[in-house]
A and B are shown apart, each in its own frame.
Chain A
Amino acid sequence: MTRKQKRLSVIAGGLAFLGAATGLTFYALGQKASYFYMPADLTTASVQPGQRIRLGGLVEKGTIQRGQGATVGFSVTDTHKSVKVTYTGILPDLFREEQGVITEGTFGPDGVFVADSVLAKHDERYMPKEVADGLKAKGVWQESKSE
């Protein structure tokens, strides 16, 4: 190979590598990004059982049920609709009734959301941003909740 050909092949190799990386990145974004929904969004959005989403809202009052062992059931609500959620594990320290939470997982065939992670707000002063924005958009945001 001449010098020029060598240089071209190095450049072509580099570009092919970058192209592959870019392709992989966009494929992964399409496949692995999980969408955020509030319970009322689920009536319009088509979420398949098994599709990984994040479900946010408030923990509905009086719905927390501690069953056998470490499995907990509760409902997440945006005051319009509510969705039943089950979760096995340790709930975050700030998890309690009428507080904002984000759960991540998939819908089972029975329509119950099986969460594998539950996030509550980190601090007494804040609500998870997505939940706060969602509640504001639905007109049920109360300023007192932010403090």
Chain B
Amino acid sequence: MVETGHFALVLAFALSLVQTLVPLFGARLNNQRLMAVGGPVAVTGFALTALSFAALASAYASSDFSVASVWENSHSLQPLIYKITGTWGNHEGSMLLWVLILTFFGALVAAFGSNLPATLRANVLAVQGAIGAAFFLFILATSNPFIRLNPAPIEGRDLNPILQDLGLAIHPPFLYLGYVGFSICFSFSVAALIEGRIDASWARWVRPWTLVAWMFLTGGIAMGSYWAYYELGWGGFWFWDPVENASFMPWLAGTALLHSAIVMEKRSALKIWTLLLAILTFSLSLLGTFLVRSGVLTSVHAFATDPTRGVFILCILTLFIGGSLALFALRASRLTAGGLFHPISREGALVLNNLFLTTATATVLVGTLYPLAVEAFSADKISVGAPFFNLTFGPLMVPLLLVVPFGPLLAWKRGDVFAVAQRLMVAFAAALLATLVTALFIDGASVFAALGVGLAVWLILGALTDLAVKSGFGNVAAGIMVRRLLGLPRSVFGTAFAHLGLGLTTLGIVGTLCFGTEKILSMHAGETVELSGHTLRFVGLYPAQGPNYAEDRGRFELIGVSGSPVGEISSAKRFYPVRQMTTTESGIRTIGFSQLYISLGDEGKDGSVVVRLWWKPLVTLIWGGGLMMMAGAAMSLMDRRLRVGAPSRRRKQASAVTSAGLP
């Protein structure tokens, strides 16, 4: 089975070369038969990669320690679920997942792209094949997951304990679906540059792919953030760690792309910019892959530090980013610019969004790469952390968030900012009220905290105002309004949901950062502690045995108003003997949208235990807002005009009728 997987991987590499060359020449020579090769090859390549991945997963599931990758990252005592998720919890396996998703998207273009112009489809598949070829070669040459060990070891070295978690099962696949989903936008852009023209079908195709990729990337980042929050036991949801930034940069650029693609689709303006943004977004995905996989950065994600891998990915990076940007420089002038618009208009608002988001992306990029650059050019070692990003990223986000509610309410081409402001009066008044109430009635609220709450309320109500205005709230009878609301295009709901999600995330961040409380103390069994109105009693420390670890579980009781326990929270110190590694399992109890968070420290000589407690108000909204954004993207995808397949089927029937009518 393992050799079958290995063989399938080599075959998939060979096919990706065919997929690159044949359709590309077919498109140049305008040869239909050569171009038609791309589709079946892409689908077969995906099937082979899937077979290869299944082979590796089965080696992991059956603990086949004769495979080096399984031996290094698995253990026979691990629960089956973590044996399987361990397939991508290591460098080799995660790269295989990367190409699996890449070929999956290629196969989707092949399967659903029958209504695309033949040359565009051929070129897209060729570019997709080229990316695949580079990464297949990378895997086979430097990170082959199928290398055997002889003699086979009896027992494996266990998966890194902090990766033995359900969050890990979902986080990387989602993140990769996002990262790699942008490869389609990239391929479409490069294909458009090769052809030297962008037509209507280009925009219609790029937007849904951007939405899909963005949706998964949002989910992946939110998932990763929650995983770090509960698994690392530090109580933080975002650390501005370079590895987090590596996924955040494509998200910011992708968000900009999402918005500029709307302008391009609706108004056929900003064509060249959208194309460049698509290239940049995937370039940042590649850069993210490089930063995480090359071992340039030390973190949980840098599974191994092998310089050949770093150099190899750097070559891939240079080839694709350099190549596509060079092609852009050569060909962009051939593309025709689109419609004009007034600065105060929907287009203008979206340009402003793009300006802020790309600048924010650039600051994150500088902050992430600056320490590497300093270390390369001097002996100094520096780190750039939260203080830098708070000072640069923060000021860029605040004005952007302030204008978000205006965007969807402005008209295309030429908007009336005063009319929009009038419609937003209620939202503005409510936001102001929220600010004042927070400042006056909540103890310890700073001016920033109050303004933050106001901003979040402004975003949430702004999103709802959009729906209210578009359904004629206040102007028509309730029945008609409901009917109008339900009749609104799905994409209007998508926008409102995504912006609402943004508001919720903002509220969660402000709540946690500004109103959260924290206590560090050493406790004996039986002692109680009070935190922001919640009373906790430390019951004691109880040893327990897990499948591949031993743990000391600290049990806490939440004491209700009556003085009797209303719930239990437990936090544990786990020891994994195979890796000689200790981890902290945080104890979390959700109360409304807020959480009590307990992290266990060391045991003292006198039997007391160091305990760190947090009260995190509204913290779940941070990720809840992310889910809301995903829902918005899903809603937009269901919009009628994005159902790419639908018009083609109708057209085919129509053409079948006309051809039947001909003699």
A23 to B595, CA, bound (A): 39
- Shortest Cβ gap from A82 to chain B (Å): 19
Question: Contacts A34-B382, A66-B604, A69-B521: A29 and B388 contacting too (C-beta < 8 A)?
Answer: yes
A128 to B388, CA, bound (A): 22
Establish whether residues A33 and B299, one from each chain, have CB atoms under 8 Å apart when the complex forms. no
Contact with A34, one of B299, B385, B600 (Cβ below 8 angstroms): B385
Beyond A35-B380, A90-B520, 8 extra complex contacts between A and B, CB < 8 Å: A29-B370, A34-B382, A35-B382, A66-B602, A70-B522, A90-B612, A123-B160, A123-B579
A59 to B582, CA, bound (A): 17
Q: Interface with A: B189-197, B326-334, B391-399, B480-488, which one?
A: B391-399
Contact with B383, one of A17, A36, A93, A94 (Cβ below 8 angstroms): A36
Establish whether residues B359 and A130, one from each chain, have CB atoms under 8 Å apart when the complex forms. no
Establish whether residues A24 and B395, one from each chain, have CB atoms under 8 Å apart when the complex forms. yes
B384 interface hit (Cβ, 8 Å): yes
Jot down 15 A-B pairs with beta carbons below 8 A, ordered by A: A17-B355, A21-B359, A21-B392, A29-B367, A29-B370, A29-B384, A33-B371, A33-B382, A35-B380, A36-B380, A89-B612, A122-B299, A123-B581, A126-B298, A133-B381
- Shortest Cβ gap from A125 to chain B (Å): 8
Which residues of chain A are within 8 angstroms of B564 by Cβ–Cβ distance?
none
Establish whether residues A54 and B580, one from each chain, have CB atoms under 8 Å apart when the complex forms. no
Establish whether residues B298 and A54, one from each chain, have CB atoms under 8 Å apart when the complex forms. no
B113 interface hit (Cβ, 8 Å): no
Which residues of chain B are within 8 angstroms of A133 by Cβ–Cβ distance?
381
B464 interface hit (Cβ, 8 Å): no
Query: Is the contact region of chain A dominated by helix, strand, or loop, or is it mixed?
Result: mixed
A124 interface hit (Cβ, 8 Å): yes
Which residues of chain B are within 8 angstroms of A6 by Cβ–Cβ distance?
343
B350-378 vs A, CB cutoff 8 Å, 1 = contact: the mask equals: 00000100010011001100110010000
- Shortest Cβ gap from A5 to chain B (Å): 13
Total number of residue pairs linking A and B with CB closer than 8 Å: 109
Establish whether residues A124 and B579, one from each chain, have CB atoms under 8 Å apart when the complex forms. yes
A89 to B326, CA, bound (A): 52
A28's nearest neighbour on chain B, judged by CB, is: B391
Establish whether residues B359 and A94, one from each chain, have CB atoms under 8 Å apart when the complex forms. no
A108 interface hit (Cβ, 8 Å): no
Establish whether residues A24 and B391, one from each chain, have CB atoms under 8 Å apart when the complex forms. yes
B599 interface hit (Cβ, 8 Å): yes
Question: Contacts A36-B381, A89-B612: A18 and B359 contacting too (C-beta < 8 A)?
Answer: yes
Seen from chain B, the residues whose Cβ lies within 8 Å of a Cβ on chain A are 160, 162, 233, 298-300, 305, 343, 355, 359, 362-363, 366-367, 370-371, 374, 380-385, 387-388, 391-392, 395-396, 520-522, 573, 579-584, 599-602, 604-605, 610, 612
Which residues of chain B are within 8 angstroms of A111 by Cβ–Cβ distance?
none
A46 to B171, CA, bound (A): 44
Question: Contacts A17-B355, A124-B580, A130-B381: A90 and B601 contacting too (C-beta < 8 A)?
Answer: yes
B608's nearest neighbour on chain A, judged by CB, is: A69
A18 to B359, CA, bound (A): 7
Establish whether residues B520 and A28, one from each chain, have CB atoms under 8 Å apart when the complex forms. no
Establish whether residues B581 and A124, one from each chain, have CB atoms under 8 Å apart when the complex forms. yes
Which residues of chain A are within 8 angstroms of B367 by Cβ–Cβ distance?
25, 29
A27 to B371, CA, bound (A): 15
A40 interface hit (Cβ, 8 Å): no
Establish whether residues A21 and B363, one from each chain, have CB atoms under 8 Å apart when the complex forms. yes
Establish whether residues B384 and A32, one from each chain, have CB atoms under 8 Å apart when the complex forms. yes
Contact with A32, one of B359, B391, B580, B612 (Cβ below 8 angstroms): B391
Which residues of chain B are within 8 angstroms of A54 by Cβ–Cβ distance?
383
A31 interface hit (Cβ, 8 Å): yes
Closest 9 CB pairs of A and B: A90-B601, A36-B381, A32-B387, A93-B582, A32-B388, A129-B298, A28-B391, A70-B520, A33-B382
Size category, A interface: 35 or more
Establish whether residues A28 and B381, one from each chain, have CB atoms under 8 Å apart when the complex forms. no
A28 to B299, CA, bound (A): 24
Which residues of chain B are within 8 angstroms of A32 by Cβ–Cβ distance?
384-385, 387-388, 391
A50 interface hit (Cβ, 8 Å): no
Contact with A94, one of B396, B581, B599 (Cβ below 8 angstroms): B581
Contact with B396, one of A21, A89, A126 (Cβ below 8 angstroms): A21
A128 to B382, CA, bound (A): 14
A8 interface hit (Cβ, 8 Å): no
Which residues of chain A are within 8 angstroms of B583 by Cβ–Cβ distance?
93
A13-57 vs B, CB cutoff 8 Å, 1 = contact: the mask equals: 010011001001101110111111000000000000000101000
Contact with B388, one of A21, A28, A104 (Cβ below 8 angstroms): A28
Establish whether residues B395 and A89, one from each chain, have CB atoms under 8 Å apart when the complex forms. no
- Shortest Cβ gap from B350 to chain A (Å): 14
- Shortest Cβ gap from B203 to chain A (Å): 24
Within 8 A of B (CB), among A48-95: 52, 54, 66, 69-70, 88-91, 93-94
- Shortest Cβ gap from A18 to chain B (Å): 7
- Shortest Cβ gap from A77 to chain B (Å): 18
A12 interface hit (Cβ, 8 Å): no
Contact with B382, one of A21, A36, A66 (Cβ below 8 angstroms): A36
Which residues of chain A are within 8 angstroms of B382 by Cβ–Cβ distance?
33-36
Which residues of chain B are within 8 angstroms of A124 by Cβ–Cβ distance?
579-581
Which residues of chain A are within 8 angstroms of B160 by Cβ–Cβ distance?
123
Which residues of chain B are within 8 angstroms of A129 by Cβ–Cβ distance?
298
Establish whether residues A14 and B355, one from each chain, have CB atoms under 8 Å apart when the complex forms. yes
- Shortest Cβ gap from A13 to chain B (Å): 9
Establish whether residues B580 and A91, one from each chain, have CB atoms under 8 Å apart when the complex forms. no
A10 interface hit (Cβ, 8 Å): yes
A124 to B384, CA, bound (A): 25
Establish whether residues A33 and B396, one from each chain, have CB atoms under 8 Å apart when the complex forms. no
Establish whether residues A90 and B298, one from each chain, have CB atoms under 8 Å apart when the complex forms. no
A18 to B356, CA, bound (A): 9
Which residues of chain A are within 8 angstroms of B363 by Cβ–Cβ distance?
21, 25
- Shortest Cβ gap from A25 to chain B (Å): 5
A107-130 vs B, CB cutoff 8 Å, 1 = contact: the mask equals: 000000000000000111010111
Which residues of chain B are within 8 angstroms of A52 by Cβ–Cβ distance?
387
A24 to B395, CA, bound (A): 10
Establish whether residues B521 and A33, one from each chain, have CB atoms under 8 Å apart when the complex forms. no
B360's nearest neighbour on chain A, judged by CB, is: A21
Contact with A28, one of B392, B573, B604 (Cβ below 8 angstroms): B392
Contact with B391, one of A14, A31, A126 (Cβ below 8 angstroms): A31
Contact with A70, one of B299, B343, B383, B521 (Cβ below 8 angstroms): B521
Which residues of chain A are within 8 angstroms of B605 by Cβ–Cβ distance?
66
A6's nearest neighbour on chain B, judged by CB, is: B343
B391's nearest neighbour on chain A, judged by CB, is: A28
Which residues of chain A are within 8 angstroms of B299 by Cβ–Cβ distance?
122
* Residue of A33, A104, A128 with most partner-chain B CB within 10 A: A33
- Shortest Cβ gap from B602 to chain A (Å): 7
Establish whether residues B392 and A24, one from each chain, have CB atoms under 8 Å apart when the complex forms. yes
Which residues of chain B are within 8 angstroms of A94 by Cβ–Cβ distance?
581-582
Which residues of chain A are within 8 angstroms of B601 by Cβ–Cβ distance?
70, 89-91
Question: Contacts A89-B520, A93-B581: A128 and B298 contacting too (C-beta < 8 A)?
Answer: yes
Which residues of chain B are within 8 angstroms of A130 by Cβ–Cβ distance?
381
A129's nearest neighbour on chain B, judged by CB, is: B298
Which residues of chain A are within 8 angstroms of B233 by Cβ–Cβ distance?
90, 93
Which residues of chain A are within 8 angstroms of B300 by Cβ–Cβ distance?
122-123
Which residues of chain A are within 8 angstroms of B343 by Cβ–Cβ distance?
6, 10
